Amino acid sequence: MAFAGITGIGACLPEKILTNFDLEKMVETSDEWIRTRTGIKERRIADENTAASDLATEAAKRALEDAGLKPEDIDMIIVATVTADMPFPATACIVQKNIKAVNAAAFDLEAGCTGFIYSLSIATQFIENGTYKNILVIASDTLTKITDFKDRNTCILFGDGAGAIVVSRVEEKGILSNFLKSNGNGGDLLYIPAGGSRKPTTIETVRKKQHYIQMNGSEVFKFAVKVMGEAAESALKMANVSLEDVKMLIPHQANQRIIDAAARRLNISRDKVYINLDKYGNMSSATVPIALEEAVKMGKIKKGDIIVLVAFGAGLTWGANVIKWIK
Ligand code: ACO
């Protein structure tokens, strides 16, 4: 069997920053409330000319450069997103065109904020079964485009960004395990009511703001605390790795209190948990690869380190990957 491992990584964040103080002028909220309830101080916002594919393209170019590969070396492109440029064509196909990855198959994967975890798992299968050599896994989301900035329950949480990795056929096993799970019964805790085939967009749906994210925050919170720890433990068990051997846990960056509760449950010390949500907020599927890229850039992750990636999201979905950093 062939082995899969991460050979390149890149990220792209919009330049525009929206701070909690800016939000104070938009809705009835305060910097203090947002910081203490979520840990978020500011987030990045894609401007009106920037779509998910634009951020994805830049992140992909950086990951390719880091891997030392040319676009034509890529066999497959998977884009995890809930904010595709449009229902079709797939955002992955737009990225393929932009970077000129002429030999690739390309498709989008929708698993809410767990999209990157799912996509890495799919890429692992195609590498391990010998079908492909190099796969671009990109997570790109522009949640601020589907957020009602008059709704203080949601608008304080989200930001935009993209992260990308190249998963390649390698000599040493770099992806140690992938654990995926979902429970469709919780679909209505976090969803967008209109704009699909159930309720196509009409003037009425727009008037009722049904094209924006609707969320039951406290129920999502309880679910997240429960499954983050479970997912990490399950993936570690599958990889036959003990928590003591883990250098760093990179969780989905939704809420500081969710991360703290998951860390407590796992009994992992806070200095082993990577957190950057204060700067970026919840960027859906993009939070995990962006945090991974940042940790690598800062020298916090070195060759041979074992890392756990864990996320939860709409669906409901959750999952974790255990990886060994092989670069
Ligand atoms: N500013 C000030 N007050 C607020 C704000 C705000 N921005 N938002 C809500 N409040 C108020 C509420 O109205 C409520 O007031 P009330 O008691 O008078 O009714 C009070 O603050 C407490 O509200 P709660 O909802 O109980 O606050 P909670 O501590 O649960 O925090 C939060 C809310 C931050 C949303 C939390 O529930 C959470 O993080 N949930 C998980 C969200 C999440 O991770 N979503 C994932 C989305 S991923 C994706 O797929 C897009």
Ligand 1 centroid – CA 92 distance (Å): 33
Is residue 137 domain-shared with residue 286, that is, in the same domain? Answer: no
Is residue 34 domain-shared with residue 182, that is, in the same domain? Answer: no
Q: Say if CB 14 and CB 50 are below 8 A apart.
A: yes
pLDDT in tens, 179-188: 999 999 999 9
Residue nearest ligand 1's atom 24 by CA: 218
Token pair, residue 51, equals 């779509």
Mean residue pLDDT of the chain comes to: 97
Token pair, residue 76, equals 């497959």
> pLDDT-based confidence at 1, cuts 50/70/90?
confident
Residue nearest ligand 1's atom 47 by CA: 313
pLDDT in tens, 256-304: 999 999 999 999 999 999 999 999 999 999 999 999 999 999 999 999 9
Q: Answer with the one of 157, 172, 187 that is the final residue of a domain.
A: 172
Is residue 140 domain-shared with residue 255, that is, in the same domain? Answer: no
CATH number at residue 235: 3.40.47.10
Please list every protein residue whose CB sits less than 6 Å from any atom of ligand 1. 29, 33, 37-38, 112-113, 143, 152-153, 156, 190, 213, 215, 217-218, 220-221, 224, 254-255, 282, 284, 313-314
Instruction: State the pLDDT at residue 221.
Output: 94
Is residue 29 domain-shared with residue 166, that is, in the same domain? Answer: yes
Number of domains in the chain: 2
Give the domain range for residue 276.
177-324
Q: Say if CB 287 and CB 140 are below 8 A apart.
A: no
Is residue 254 domain-shared with residue 154, that is, in the same domain? Answer: no
Residue nearest ligand 1's atom 10 by CA: 153
3-class state of residue 321 by DSSP:
strand
| Cα angle 93-251-19, degrees, rounded to a multiple of 5 | 80
